[in-house]
Structure 1
Amino acid sequence: MPQINQLAEVALSQFFWLLLTLGIIYFGIAKAMVPKIQQTVEARDKRIADDLAAAERARAEADATEEEYRGKINAARDEVHALILDAKSSAARATEARLGEVDAGIEAKAADATA
């Protein structure tokens, strides 16, 4: 059979051209596409690092703002608490003074009534 005899010659020739074509494609991709992909990956990594740094700065700023807010809230609570205590003591003094006046008036009326 002549086809089987030619198989070795044809297969070697096709194998050679296959290797040559794949080699050209490989080196073409390696020289043209790989650097572009590497640049894209490096740019992506840099952007991720920058975004993480910006997020960390924003978080630190938010924490500082929250701490300042909590300090102001606590100061306002303390001030309100002091005002409430002052108002209560002032109201208690006013009530005691008024009760003293009323008691004095009642005692005066009782003294007038018994006299």
Structure 2
Amino acid sequence: MILQPINAKLTIDQIVALESMMCSLEKYKPKSIEEKVTYSVIIDLSDKINKPYNKIIKSADLFSDGKKIKLQLKLHEAFALLGFIEMHLKSLHKESKSRNDLLKLLLFIQDEFAKF
């Protein structure tokens, strides 16, 4: 049985929120083995997120609001991202745009895992 990756179509705001979250990796101090594994996967995933973020920054204009960016996540990447988003959401203000963007992504990933 071959497991298919999760194909996400993210908004520009979601990519920016993810990049902002990745910047908080410096402050993250994993303690348990599960947290260390998650951290390891997230470090690799941060490179995957940084590429579309840099592309957005270089080519941002007034007409790119509705544009979607494709991001393909392997299952272990999606699982680690799910855990990291859950931890990060606790530190964000409940009504912030960034929190809402990450929450939508979290719910999407959870729905994708429910299909397995």
- TM-score grouping bracket, smaller chain normalisation: under 0.3
Larger Rg: 1
Higher relative CO (Cα under 8 Å, sequence separation at least 6) belongs to 2
Normalising by structure 2, report the TM-score.
0.23
More helix by share: 1
**TM-score, length-scaled by structure 1:** 0.23
Higher strand share: 2
